[in-house]
Amino acid sequence: MTETTTDTQQTYHMPRIGDAAPEFTAESTQGPVNFPSDYKGKWVILFSHPADFTPVCTSEFMTFAVMEDEFRKYNTELVGVSVDGLYSHIAWLRTIREKMEFRGWKNVDVKFPLIDDVSMNVSRKYGMIMPGEAETSAVRAVFIIDPEAKVRTILYYPLSTGRNFDEILRVVKALQTADEFNVATPADWRPGERVIVPTAGSCGVAENRMTGGEEDVECVDWFFCTKAIDEETVEKAIQK
């Protein structure tokens, strides 16, 4: 997919899973950000929100801020983006800290950077502007980017729907588990549940698995084989 800006006639190719994360330099509430070079060796959740001083976005930022330490256990940093300016960002985050309450959370301090994207440069590079939804606001996009600065997951939500933060954290854990153990994770997987081993690449391997010749591997059929990795082992491997 591509998007062409009418002002500059520049065409951006929206990133896909496996692509290098588009680079940008921007101001933020935590100072200048050079992305992704500032986050070398870390996982990053780069996410956009439609506008400051809006209720759904406020609930999301409070949730991300409360969960920030939990994400950091998994070597994962948070970076927010919207098309509002820096002073608007600062005023909004101050309002969140001083006035807002959500799910019993009060005095929530948003410490991760929120990028000033008035130019829409970042939003356009990442395909966060969806004209059918809004011409001048970013949708609720989530990009999970790995330590090699590769896009690993892309999630989009409409303006009206707040994100599922448990799912975002679950995806981070699943990606890291897949990388660490060379496995895949089934539907609704969480650490401690059985994982899927790579499909047999030959008849011999398939037969060996089906007859119990591969230790700790259980097969329903030759293409669907799983093994157990306990939660403690998974968490120890992926927490940094």
Feature table: binding site for substrate? 140
Binding-site residues from annotation: 140
- Give strand pairing partners of 44: 77, 145
User: Could you give the CA distance from residue 120 to residue 118 in angstroms, rounded to a whole number?
Assistant: 5
54 CA to centre of own chain = 22
Of 57, 203, 219, 225, which one is the catalytic site residue?
Answer: 57
User: Could you give the CA distance from residue 227 to residue 142 in angstroms, rounded to a whole number?
Assistant: 30
Helices (H) and strands (E) in the chain, counts: 6, 14
Q: Are 139 and 161 in contact (CB under 8 A)?
A: no
Q: Does 57 participate in catalysis according to the annotation?
A: yes
- Identify the DSSP state of 129: B
Residue 227 CB contacts under 8 Å (≥ 6 apart), including other chains = 183, 194, 195, 197, 216, 217, 218
- Which stretches does DSSP call E strand in 65-139? 76-82, 101-102, 105-106, 114-116
Tell me which residues are annotated as active site.
57
